[in-house]
Amino acid sequence: MTALVIAMDGPSGSGKSSASRGVARALGLRYLDTGAMYRAITWWMLRHGVDLADPAAIAVRAGDPVLSIATSPDSSSVTVDGTDVTAEIRTAEVTGAVSAVSAVPEVRGRLVAEQRALIGSGEIVVEGRDIGTVVAPGAPVKVYLTASPEARARRRTAELSGTTVEAQREAMARRDTLDSTRKADPLVMAADAVELDTTELTLDEVIAEVLRLVKERT
């Protein structure tokens, strides 16, 4: 892989989205939020009454939704079957169900293929949970963002309404376990990724560190 592809992995609340967008803006690159794609499929499954406790039922419908996602760091629009679901995919309902849907191999196979097609010739910042290990293992820059459970919970609570830090900490712990133990493409740090703990860092400091790594590795 010769084009600049920056793989940004890590659990929710680690600062991936904000940092990835900031890096993409600074370098004039495209940006892809792969988590939004899994959320969009999850939204569709919920709206079509698919039993999310039945992986086989999810697998059968995995190819049905027609998905489109913007690749600009200044636009987060996502559509499913022509409907803008940008806001809907961030609800608590979708958040609570996305791990079950994303664990299904047929869903992952479909979306990984679409993600690779979107990456295309490169020049993009891609965030997710399996970018450096599965989607773009040849990416020249791989970063794995982490943060303390408390910091992650505080950040997520600030983004949502009607929740508490404790509730978010428990929800994130459950999702971490599901994502890191699933059989298909579990959340793990790539062997050649640089781990960056964002607990005590500002967003600008995280972006600056990633930009330093980009300069160093390219």
- Distance from chain centroid for Cα 152: 15
Q: How many CB atoms lie within 10 A of CB 36?
A: 22
**pTM to 2 decimal places:** 0.89
| pLDDT band of 60, cuts 50, 70, 90 | very high
DSSP notation for 106-156: HHHHHHHHHHHHHHTT--EEEEESSIIIII-TT-SEEEEEE--HHHHHHHH
Which of 25-34, 106-115, 152-161 is predicted with the least confidence, judged by mean pLDDT?
152-161
pLDDT in tens, 101-154: 999 999 999 999 999 999 986 799 999 999 999 999 999 999 999 999 888 888
Please state, in angstroms and rounded to a whole number, the distance separating the CA atoms of residues 117 and 161: 35
DSSP-derived pairing of the beta strands 5-9 and 78-80: unpaired
